[in-house]
Amino acid sequence: MEYSEKVMDHFMNPRNVGVIEDASGVGQVGNAKCGDIMKVYLKIEDGRIEDAKFKTFGCGAAVATSSMATELVKGKTIQEALEVTNKAVMEALDGLPPVKVHCSCLAEEALHAALWDYAEKNGVKIEGLKPPVDDVDELHHMENEE
């Protein structure tokens, strides 16, 4: 399987690994099929993402995409962060092999779940944000059936 240099770099030296103790929002998602789990922590101040960290129990592509996704959202507003889709993360990593695309969905969903958690805790509504699901695989299944 061919991985880009950027994927290898973010896998070998992942950025933003860890936990934010006083996180404004925490999101955890899993993919029942491969058993991988990803947890994202966000620190949000004045509608802007000041810090982002993650813990991933998963494959190399899951580690690389969570590393890149957290890098991309840092400093962004909540609305801008919503534009950090799995496609955007993959592009920033110079692509992923087709069988690894679902791993980037895990990163997007974990990020959205953390934003959802923040919105719930603060009683705000984030335009365009959908509620998180427990199993990402199920979500993409549903999307395909629509």
CA neighbor of 124 nearest in space, from 80, 78, 56, 81:
78
The 8-class DSSP code of residue 59 comes to: -
Task: Give catalytic status of residue 34 as yes or no.
Answer: yes
Those residues with Cβ within 8 angstroms of residue 69's Cβ, 6 or more apart along the chain or in another chain: 40, 52, 54, 84, 89, 107, 108, 110, 111
The 8-class DSSP code of residue 85 comes to: -
Task: Give catalytic status of residue 103 as yes or no.
Answer: yes
Nearer residue to ligand FES within complex by CB, 40 or 62: 62
Residue among 23, 69, 73, 103 that touches ligand FES (CB under 6 A)? 103
When asked if residue 106 is in the footprint of ligand FES (CB under 6 A), the reply is: yes
When asked if residue 68 is in the footprint of ligand FES (CB under 6 A), the reply is: no
DSSP secondary structure string for all residues of 94-115: T---GGGHHHHHHHHHHHHHHH
Q: Taking the complex as a whole, how short is the minimal distance between the CB of residue 139 and ligand FES, in angstroms?
A: 13
Could you tell me the CA-to-CA distances from 121 to 29, 68, 92 in Å, in that order? 18, 26, 31
When asked if residue 62 is in the footprint of ligand FES (CB under 6 A), the reply is: yes
- Which of 6, 15, 28, 34 is catalytic? The answer is 34
- Which of 23, 29, 73, 103 is catalytic? The answer is 103
| Segment contacting ligand FES by CB under 6 A, of 14-22, 28-36, 45-53, 81-89 | 28-36
Size of the site for ligand FES (CB under 6 A): 10
| Segment contacting ligand FES by CB under 6 A, of 10-18, 44-52, 59-67, 88-96 | 59-67
List, by residue number, the catalytic residues. Answer: 34, 103
